[in-house]
Chain A
């Protein structure tokens, strides 16, 4: 009978055995970026003391799951996943995700993981509750939604600028209802509650706009494991495909969303690539409308620039790029925001 044990990867010998097992199963990415996120790792040891299976969790994401199968197909896999889910349940986490190679999707589906998206290479599944259907049924709706023209915008809004407001205004004028999904991942200078509040305040003049959390389902870069992918370009491509597939197959049909508005990306090559890829993945079912970036005194309005000015403490310049509500917030919290930057918060990303 196989035994379940805790593995401590900080121990060099354990780490080596763990890597050897996973390498033999064709998992090769052990970069610090991925491994450092792991909260807990378990191992499965057979009667001869040999490591025959393992699995890890990082937050609510299962990672590095692999077993050596013997006669009873799936028994070891089920045991590893059971133990990981029990570990999460002890932390009061009842909703979890897994990114895996497309060919392993069905193994997880047998354990009641529901497929959220599948591309040629990768699959993204969730387990437990509340699930995507609960997320969707909790969103605000309008009467006769099925007959309405509905659009969506996904934004991080770090922080909400006049550029974001311009994008929302266009969508608001051209549709009956607009959902603004605010990215829920907390890795930005402005935390989720702050970003949410500023988006709400900056869009309250548009009666047909509903600002909601993107939950776990829109753009969650921290959880996307690069470990089964070769290069960064491939990573962006797969991540976009999965993100778009969740939106296209799960979110949009439930809310009758027919259009998605995105801001044109003149500066970041990565974001531009993301936009092009998004349009490709969502079409033709969902029309992707690219809106030209707003300019103020000959300069393109970007949140990246606003963050730089926060670092420099230049309120006068910030004022040109953000609505009143965002400006007031920055003014009142300038020292707190600057201290976050000093403590190492990255402001060059998204």
Chain B
């Protein structure tokens, strides 16, 4: 799977997370902003990385702005951003979830 464009999904509102993805060359690089980063930062990054890998992406730059999202929300937003970035949103791969 190849990233064709920068893309974003999600909002900055409470209980959500905004994920922006663009082309990378150095594995999955995540820049995370979260008020609960100390406690849950590792877990949030793990969920994003696993979701992207399941979708077949090995290299990507990710900016994630968390507002207290649950794992299922993180997965859904990551998948949506990944599909937009790879321009495959017309063939949703819900198996990844």
Contact = CB atoms under 8 A, between A and B. Distances in A.
Q: Do A and B come from one complex?
A: yes
Interface of A: 72, 75, 78-79, 81-82, 85-86, 89, 92, 94, 110-112, 128-130
Contact of A82 (B13, B61, B63): B13
B14 A89 contact: no
Interface in B5-44: 5-8, 11-14, 18, 20, 22, 33, 35
Contact of B8 (A79, A94, A110): A94
Please list the 4 inter-chain residue pairs (A to B) with the smallest Cβ-Cβ separation, ordered nearest first: A112-B65, A112-B33, A94-B6, A82-B12
B53 interface: no
B4 to A, nearest CB: 12
B67 A78 contact: yes
Interface residues of B, number: 17
Nearest to B84: A89
A129 B63 contact: yes
B18 to A, nearest CB: 7
A129 B62 CA distance: 9
A134 to B, nearest CB: 8
Contact of B13 (A78, A92, A94, A130): A78
B12 A129 contact: no
B18 A82 contact: yes
A75 B13 contact: yes
A75 B15 CA distance: 11
Nearest to A134: B61
A112 B5 contact: no
B14 A75 contact: yes
B42 to A, nearest CB: 18
Contacts of B11: 78-79, 82, 86
A81 B33 CA distance: 16
Contacts of B61: 129
Contacts of A130: 22
Contacts of B20: 94, 128-129
A295 to B, nearest CB: 49
Given A128-B20, A129-B6, 10 more contacts: A78-B67, A79-B13, A81-B12, A82-B12, A82-B13, A86-B11, A89-B8, A94-B8, A110-B33, A129-B63
A72 B68 CA distance: 15
A129 B24 CA distance: 11
Contacts of B8: 85-86, 89, 94, 128
B78 to A, nearest CB: 16
